[in-house]
Structure 1
Amino acid sequence: MRFVRSLLIAALSGVAIAGCSAPSTPASQTIPAPPPISWTECPDDVDSPGLQCATVRVPLDYDDPDGTTIDLTISRLASKNPEKRRGVLMLNPGGPGGTGLDQPAFLVERGIPQQTLDSYDLIGIDSRGIGHSSPISCGITDDIGYRGAVPPYAYDDTAFDEQNAVAKKVAEKCAANDDGRLRHITTANMARDLDSIRQALGEAKGSFLGYSYGSALGAAYASMFPDTTDRIVLDSNIGDTHLDRSGLRTYAEGMEDTFPDFAQWAAARDDRFGLGRTPDEVRQTYFTIADKLDRGSVDGLDGRSFRLGTFVSLYNPASYEAAARSWRTALDTPPSTDPAVGSVLSAFDNTWSVFLAVTCNDVEWPRDPAVYRQAIAEDRNKFPLFGAASANIVPCAYWQIEHSEPPVAVESNGPTNVLIAQHRRDPVTPLSNGERMKEKFGDRSRLLTVDGSGHGVYALGKNKCAQDVITAYLVDGVVPETDATC
């Protein structure tokens, strides 16, 4: 069951979740040029040979460009082919709250095509408030019992009341620890930061590749700066430029879409794991284990952690075997009355703080706990695998930081420079999100639907057709004439 715990930590530091107020941010903005940058060695905790790092100074508040400034830390994996170099490809790994300095090296490890490496300097970014970019802190500690970005499964009213109390406490912590920067941690400001980075790098235009929450940031960037964005790839889509309650609830839809792939895999290996001879039997085993762990923990993990661990295991089919082993352990081990894991680690305070700042600042969330209680009842029936988790209440319901601006509106007027890549079966961002993003961008975009399973298409998935389509777009500017399927 250590596998489940590690999955919780890994996923919750980089998952993306997506109305309440009407988006109205101006479509095109002008950002003052930041000071020039110089490349140096990266911080010691960025263990990625070949990367250089630099800082870019930007306004904390872009409405007050001569006021307080903050430093953003970026990394660069430079193209080694000057004849083929096109420009810079800025990256975002998701979250919000995921550090991005090592992302260029990570994509190389995952096999990003050499043509892309020749065409671009890959630019990793710790977005504002994250890691080495003027980090913020809500002061989230283990004793609060916060379980991270994805709320825990509310298996009964007592569990909901427990999460409701935790959500309120976390929101109060964030307000108490705010030094005045928290309200400026927004998707709109992160998009402005991207244009500042582009200018600091001396580029007339900037290209962008964003995964998960990065799709929201990329959509905001393309919408606010249509004239200075080059080629934009939105991979595994939230469906808008911001995260909201309805977007979080689509996690349950995504798990229902993707779980059959794991169930079919496990059923084909029933002789090894004994989880069921058919996908339906495997699905029933899921509920058997969850019910067992709701009444007692195994290796310190309860039913809520089991459900979340299974959800995260669907991110990548490479996780299926470890998940099946953990299921087998849960079946074979008598439940314990020992306390289950209550939080992930206070070391993730910075990650959770940025996640909450962006999510709660971008859009108003419902304030009435009864709204969430009703949603749990609805989604528990509609999406029994995970609905009572993704519909649960979050700290945004009690957010005390004043909103600085509405969410960014997706801008459909502009160049056809947005490629939307989406697996048919994605536990975090279901296909319907990609379709919604396509509808918002209209003729500015093309939707690439990939017959695959998991979270992340380009360099992270296994579909050669999809890799070729995205590479052709990034390298040669080849846009599919119509929406495409791989």
Structure 2
Amino acid sequence: MTQRKRSRSRSIRNAAIVGVSTALLGVTAPVTASATGGSTPGPLTWSACEGTGLDPRQECATLDVPMDYADPGGPRIEMAVSRIPAEQPGSRRGALLLIPGGPGGSSLNDPSGKGQKLPQEVRDRHDLIGFAPRGLAPSTSVDCGLEHGDLATSKLRPWPAPDGSVDQNMATARRMADACVRNGGELIKHLSTANEARDIDRLRAALGERRISAWGVSYGTYVGAVYAQLFPHRTDRIVLDSNDDPDPARVARAWLAGHEQGVEDTFPEFAAWAARPGNPDRVARRAADVRPLFLRLAARLDRKPIPWPGANPAELNGNVLRQTMLDSLYSPGKFPTLARLMRAAQRGTVPPAPQAPPEAVLQNVAAVGAGVLCNDVAWPEDQAAYEKDVAVSRAEYPLTAGMPRNAMLCAAWPYPPREAPVRITGRGPSNVLLVQNERDVATPLTGARKLREAFGRRAVMVTVDSTGHDSYLANGNACGDATVSRFLATGMRPASDVRCG
């Protein structure tokens, strides 16, 4: 295997395991859904995938798409795609696209991974399709060349200073945006959710499918919603799992703000677990004591961080603890990570530094996230507006300390959006099923209800009495899983919204 192929193979594997979850217009003429980039793409040429640990049935191919759909005859970029063909060709219905989260996530290896958790009847009747979205390796990739310290998750998320100041956040935004301008090239200007939806339609055509089904998760729900809005009659069975608020005035700003309520919905579950007798990671005798303990620890670490060799940053400070809290609430299976860090901080120690993905992968994922979040909608540039919002947020939601209303690098993004955000409506076939946990730190139920409202008659929603991000076949329950599986396998969908208790 050549060095280039080895590098490509590593990028495929690494991009598949890394995602960044967090995401008024000076608009040029919008690109419409009919701007599909010129002639219909030819059939894909499938070959064996590079990498290890893949299902031997998985095949890979490359699709050329326009970098700029307003200039379909201009430069082209590559999109890496994968598939596992339907297991019963005689009963094949079509293709099921696995839309990843992020922005910055990949589903390239998902046909071999989570796709194999799908019921046999679904796998019998659908090709499972994965892809690396534009900008993400091994598709034509982007890189901002950010400073190492700016790749820390607690820096990518805009946590204010301990006193609530956002001065450093604004300076960081300018530094990171400048790096993206210097190093991101032309492609970073063309990363957007609408362009990802257009790429998906090019992929649909290349697959030879008149209509395509999809399972979108997290940010992938917004991608799926935008695709269903731009190309409504190209959709078959659409499942959107852990749903983003589609507010066209705010887009990713609404997703970031949603963490306030997401933490409030989910933290009580952690507190009950962390106070349970017999739990080896117990941090308090009563659930009611866990929240004040966390707030005291964060404040103590704000004043006196603990050195943490090998970590980025190289100290355990209050914002690192807060970021660990946010990450750990994504799934009950991650609760021990936060509890153990809290116990270590109480003793004035730290656990071993968490292992980070390779820096090249982090750079790529961060650049894709920046491009999409900042190109989808214009963010305010006024520092005073962020200061005001952060102060309100800190008072109302102390666990998140103002971060959800603070300035990301988009506050200094120099490129105006090239088109208005897509407004999700009820126009189109009634073939969308939303599935949503009641307690989801990243995409709270409040935001999912707004997507449900926007879709109107096109959708029904299954609300699941469960905790964690990603519901279907992950952190949901048997009732929710069975409802989604039935829809994908047979097309049978509840007649109206239901709750799975």
Q: TM-score, normalised by structure 1?
A: 0.90
Residue in 1 that maps onto 2:340 = 325
| Conservation of the 8 A alpha-carbon contact between 2:191 and 2:372 | yes
Structure 2 residue 284 is the aligned partner of structure 1 residue 276? yes
**Identical-pair percentage:** 36
CA pair 483-173 structure 1, distance change in 2 beyond 3 A = same
Q: Tell me, yes or no, if the aligned pair for 1:418 and 1:446 is still in contact at 8 Å.
A: yes
Q: 1:322 to 1:144 in 2, by over 3 A?
A: closer
Of residues 153, 156, 163, the one that matches 2:163 is 156
Which of 299, 307, 320 does residue 322 from structure 2 map onto? 307
Find the counterpart in structure 1 of residue 209 from structure 2.
Answer: 203
Give the alignment partner of residue 91 of structure 1, picking from 98, 115, 126.
98
Q: Shift of the alpha carbon at 1:321? A: 2.6
Q: Which amino acid aligns with 1:100?
A: S
> Is the Cα contact below 8 Å between 1:18 and 1:238 reproduced in 2?
no
> Offset at 1:270?
6.6
Which residue matches 1:220? 226
The corresponding residue for 2:244 is 238
- Compute the RMSD of aligned alpha carbons: 2.9
Which of 78, 85, 89 is the aligned partner of 2:85?
78
Partner amino acid, structure 2, of 1:385: L
Q: How far off its partner does 1:420 sit?
A: 1.1
- Provide the residue aligned with 1:29 in structure 2: 34
What CA deviation, in whole Å up to 9, does each residue of 1:240-273 have, x standing for no partner?
A: 1773323211112101110111111111137634
Instruction: Tell me the residue number matched to 1:39.
Output: 46
Give SS of 1:349's match: helix
Q: Distance in 1 between matches of 2:34 and 2:53?
A: 33
C-alpha displacement of 1:359: 0.5
Residue 19 of structure 1 contacts residue 245 of structure 1 at CA under 8 Å; is this kept in 2?
A: no
1:168 maps to 2:182: no
Cα displacement (A) at 1:442:
0.3
Structure 1 344/48 Cα, relative in aligned 2: closer, same or farther at 3 Å? same
What is the CA deviation profile of residues 88-139 of structure 1, one whole-angstrom value per residue up to 9, with x for unaligned ones? 1111220001122112222146x32222211211111100111111001111
Secondary structure at 1:223's aligned position in 2? helix
Q: 2:267 aligns with which of 259, 262, 287?
A: 259
2:442 is equivalent to residue 434 of structure 1: no
Structure-2 separation of matches of 1:422 and 1:178: 35
Structure 1 window deviating more from structure 2 (138-147 vs 462-471): it is: 138-147
How many residue pairs get matched? Answer: 474
Matched, 1:483 2:501: no
Distance in 2, matches of 1:241 and 1:191, equals 17
Aligned twin of 2:294: 286
Residue 4 of structure 1 corresponds to which residue in structure 2? none
Partner of 2:142: 136
- Alignment equivalent of 2:378, drawn from 349, 353, 364: 364
1:14 counterpart (13, 16, 19): 19
Q: 1:63 aligns with which of 50, 53, 70?
A: 70
Q: 1:25 to 1:222 in 2, by over 3 A?
A: farther
Instruction: Find the residue that maps to 1:191 and give its secondary structure.
Output: helix
**Deviation readout 1:256-305 (Å, 9 max, x if unpaired):** 11011111111113763442222210111111221222121253322111
- Given that 1:17 and 1:238 are in contact with CA atoms closer than 8 Å, whether structure 2 keeps it comes out as no
- Unmatched tracts of structure 1, length 5 or more: 1-8
Give the deviation of 1:152 after TM superposition.
2.5
Instruction: Give the 3 Å change call, closer, same or farther, for CA 19–317 of structure 1 in structure 2.
Output: farther
Q: Residue 466 and residue 436 in structure 1: after superposition, are their counterparts in 2 closer, same or farther (change >3 A)?
A: same
> Retained in 2: the 8 A contact 1:19–1:244?
no
CA contact 2:189–2:375 (8 Å) conserved in 1: yes
Aligned-partner residue type, residue 309 of structure 1: T
Unmatched runs of 5 consecutive residues or more in structure 2: 1-13, 309-314
Classify 1:143/1:283 alpha carbon distance in 2 versus 1 (closer, same or farther; 3 Å): closer
- 1:3 is aligned to none
How many angstroms does 1:456 deviate by?
A: 0.3
CA separation in 1, counterparts of 2:266 and 2:15?
19
Superposition deviation, residue 430 in structure 1: 0.4
Asked if the contact 1:239–1:434 (Cα under 8 Å) also holds between the matched residues in 2, the reply is yes
Decide whether the 8 Å contact of 1:104 with 1:122 is kept in 2. Answer: yes
1:411, distance to aligned residue in structure 2 (A): 2.9
Tell me if 1:52 matches 2:59.
Answer: yes
Tell me by how many angstroms 1:18 deviates.
Answer: 6.1
Q: 2:368 aligns with which of 354, 360, 363?
A: 354
Matched to 1:96, the amino acid is P
2:193 to 166, 176, 187: 187
Structure 1 residue 418: Cα displacement:
1.1
Aligned counterparts of 2:122 and 2:354: Cα–Cα separation in 1: 45
